[in-house]
Structure 1
Amino acid sequence: MASTGPGAQERYYARLTKGMVVQVRETAKMGKGLFATEDIKAETVILREQPVANMQHLTNRKKFRACAHCLRPLGPLEEAMNKLVIALDLLPSSSISSNCSASISPGSLPLVDELLPHPLPLPLPCAHADDGCDIEFCSESCRSVSWAMHHSLLCIGAAAAEGNIAKQVALKQLCDEVLEETNEAFYMAAQILAYVVSRYRAMKRPDLDRARLPISLLHSRPWWEVVCPAESDDDDEYGHEYEYEFDREAFEAAHRADVERLAPMLWAIVADSDPALAPLFTVDTLAHVMGMFEMNSVSMLVVSPVHTYLEQMRQLPASEQLRISAAGGPVLAALAGAMDQLGNEDVEGLGVFAVHANTNHSCVPNVESAKDPEDPDGLVVLITLRDIAAGEQLFVSVRLCLHLSSLRTRSPAQ
């Protein structure tokens, strides 16, 4: 990965953390780290960061509609219920079509605003939805940010509007063949490289080294070394021996072949095969970008609004529960009868976060990456576990696990 000039790293992170109570700086032994810039009390949210690149898991898309940028669940709630009951095979899809009485009509459920901590925004389609793009957002803000960062270069609708048939075909191949049949990391790599290209093209004096700071400053190794490090040749992560002999050379060759196939495709899609941007799309660079994603990505998670609504419904008087049940019909009844299963079904994805990625790990953490069940979106959050002194380095647990705090019982009136 390319090096950068003196002070470039400091300026880059200073812009990212402007107005925050944290800063990124070098440590004596651990590379970069995240530090507090002032005294901070325990249980304080000190970081709430938007992703550089992210995606909702493919399997999760079948269950929930969510914003392509922040993963906020999209409404209306009734349609979310219709979608989820089919995805979980609780009712046959033939009985939940828009023309069937079994489905819940939008606007028919009572007390939605009262029982949910936040309103569910209606889907805001990409500006090129009529040209074939099916990406949706929760707000104009998320749509604009995503467009500026990477979506403008990855939008199949925009390619259609421009009459760029070759790019349309390549994007469809990326989404259908590579993404669904191989690895989600490929599409994340496309987003990250599109972000770098967007930065490069927005510069008054284009500088590729400065443009690629988002990827050159994060920890990285070649993709095949990250997904199967050398120490795992004979044992899995729990120390159990494999029952077969692992062929590392064949494993690396297969993964390298995937990257070799992807590199020219992404160069054409993201950079229009611009020779000035060719260094971003070498096999080595792409392998490191994908390895960077594997090493630095964290979970994005939002509690299911369907589960929240049904859970809060249980706290209502019997008369109100009956009113909701009558309005929800077979769909609501099927979901209410599967609450244990619904408790494990949330909006989920992965994201790379430029500031959060510099948080080192410790057996004695002083911050945690935790999501409150009332958080409206999937942005990464850091919360202090104790009082923090100015200048103190921030650490998360060695086994970082993005978890939900216990779902608090709220009065519907709150």
Structure 2
Amino acid sequence: MEASCGDTHGVEVREIGGSKGKGLFALCKFSAGETIFEERPLVCSQFLWNQAYGYLACDYCMRPLETAEENAQRLSSNRQLVLPYPQCCNTKKENHVNCSQCEVSYCSVACQSLAWEQYHRVLCFGGSGGDSNHPLEQLQVAWRNVHYPPETASIMLIARMIATVKQAKDKEGAIHLFSQFCHSTVNEEEQIAHKLLGERFQVQLEQLRELLSKALFEECIYHWFTPEGFRSLIALVGTNGQGVGTSPLSVWTKNCDALDLPTEEKQHLNEFIDHLYEEVDKETGAFLNNEGSGLYPLQSSCNHSCVPNAEATFPYSNFVLVMEAVKDIEPGEEIVVCYLDDCNRHRSRHSRIKMLRYVKAIF
């Protein structure tokens, strides 16, 4: 699998053996700050607890549907809060649309059409109006009951994988797209790949499998619905799911940071942002900018390092992942990543320094 670097092929996935299995390697030089590749997920889904707590995102691309001010008001529990520099908010409410059948929301007609063509025809509740007896509703409730925040995966990723196969004209081709992901139920230390695969969750796991089978069974992927096949699917999304960050407050903060302001006004703005995040921390805990997860073939091939040479970013405020070089990368060098979530990178300088000190202490 390759991705472009100018007019040439810039990266490739290689089998490297051992505990890592495979890795992503550069085929040409990338300078620090340069985009290595851009990638859309095969499937993407908002975390169900984020959805339950009122975070509004496009059901297809994860673009925020609430304004930065609405987001800040909700997270800080301060409905009177007014954000300065409203021009720094990118949310375009006039473009939002809802599915006429199930009322899920999209940021645009284009996203609504893409979702309908890929998987939403299967997942649409057909006007059930959130009927609690609908199998998909029961599946989501069951998932929330066994997977409290912070979420690290979503059962709806699996549902969308299955729906994608069910709607695909080339079902074998669709199955192959998902087969490239690692789906071992244990990792190299012989530990479980996701907590739901642990012994204490076996009853709940079987309940999830039965609900998924009732809602979406498909003969050509019957093996996905067997007990072992379902465990592999849980392992797949648990191991490969990439957090997707699309916070409108984060985007507003980043855009504010780019404003050309007098020194005193800039300092006042930084102090306002610091205070705002402190209030968010008090009301809702640490504000993490991972509102959902997606399956990205290239990104999932990147191995972890505490000294990374690349990082995954979401500069378009949707599910498009942009892998950027954080240092010069030479041809033949492995591309490795680490995490400092996008939201914390986009706080003011003072908050970023505190967060970086915290992450350094962890490592």
**Unpaired runs of at least 5, structure 2:** 148-152, 266-271, 350-363
| TM-superposition CA deviations, 1:27-82 (whole Å, max 9, x none) | 3544222122332222112122222333333443335322223322224556x25x
- Residues 167 and 268, structure 1, Cα contact 8 Å, conserved in 2: no
2:199 is the counterpart of 1:220:
no
Task: From 340, 352, 372, give the equivalent of 2:278.
Answer: 340
Summarize the alignment of residues 50-129 of structure 1 with structure 2, pairs less than 5 Å apart: 50-61=40-51, 62-76=53-67, 80=70, 84-86=72-74, 88-91=76-79, 112-113=86-87, 115-116=88-89, 118-122=90-94, 124-128=96-100
* 1:21 to 2:10 alignment: yes
Query: Aligned partners of 2:202, 2:288: CA distance in 1, in Å?
Result: 34
Q: Give the share of equivalent positions with the same residue, in percent.
A: 21
Choose from 307, 315, 325 the match for 1:384.
325
User: Do the aligned residues in 2 keep the contact of 1:46 with 1:382 (CA within 8 Å)?
Assistant: yes
Corresponding residue pairs, total:
324
**Are the structure 2 counterparts of residues 121 and 391 from structure 1 closer, same or farther at C-alpha, using a change threshold of 3 Å?**
farther
Which residue of structure 1 aligns with residue 23 of structure 2?
A: 33
Amino acid at match of 1:127: C
Alignment RMSD, CA only? 4.3
Letter in 2 for 1:173: Q
Note the C-alpha offset of 1:140: 2.9
Q: Is the 8 A contact 2:308 2:337 kept in 1?
A: yes
Superposed, which structure 2 residues align to 1:182-331 within 5 Å?
182-183=146-147, 185-198=154-167, 201-203=168-170, 206-207=171-172, 210-222=173-185, 225=186, 252-270=198-216, 273-305=217-249, 308=252, 312=256
State the 1:338 CA deviation.
4.0
TM-score normalised to the size of structure 2? 0.71
Given residue 301 of structure 1, which amino acid in structure 2 is its aligned partner? G
Gap change, CA 1:276 and 1:60, over 3 Å in 2: closer
CA distance in 1, matches of 2:99, 2:4: 28
Return the TM-score normalized by structure 1.
Answer: 0.63
- 3-state SS of the aligned residue for 1:71? coil
In structure 2, the CA distance between the partners of 1:170 and 1:390, relative to structure 1 (3 Å rule), is: same
**Hey, what's the Cα distance between the residues in 2 that align with 1:358 and 1:139?**
31
Cα distance change of structure 1 residues 172 and 197 upon mapping to structure 2, 3 Å threshold: same
Instruction: Give 2:145's aligned residue.
Output: 181
1:16 deviates by 11
Displacement of 1:119 after TM fit? 4.7
The structure that has the greater radius of gyration is 1
**Which residue does 1:170 correspond to in 2?**
135
| Structure 2 match to 1:236 | none
| Structure 2 Cα separation of the partners of residues 27 and 86 of structure 1 | 46
CA-to-partner distance for each residue in 1:330-382, whole Å, 9 max, x for gaps? xxxx99974523475465222221221011234543222345xx642343331
1:341 maps to amino acid:
E
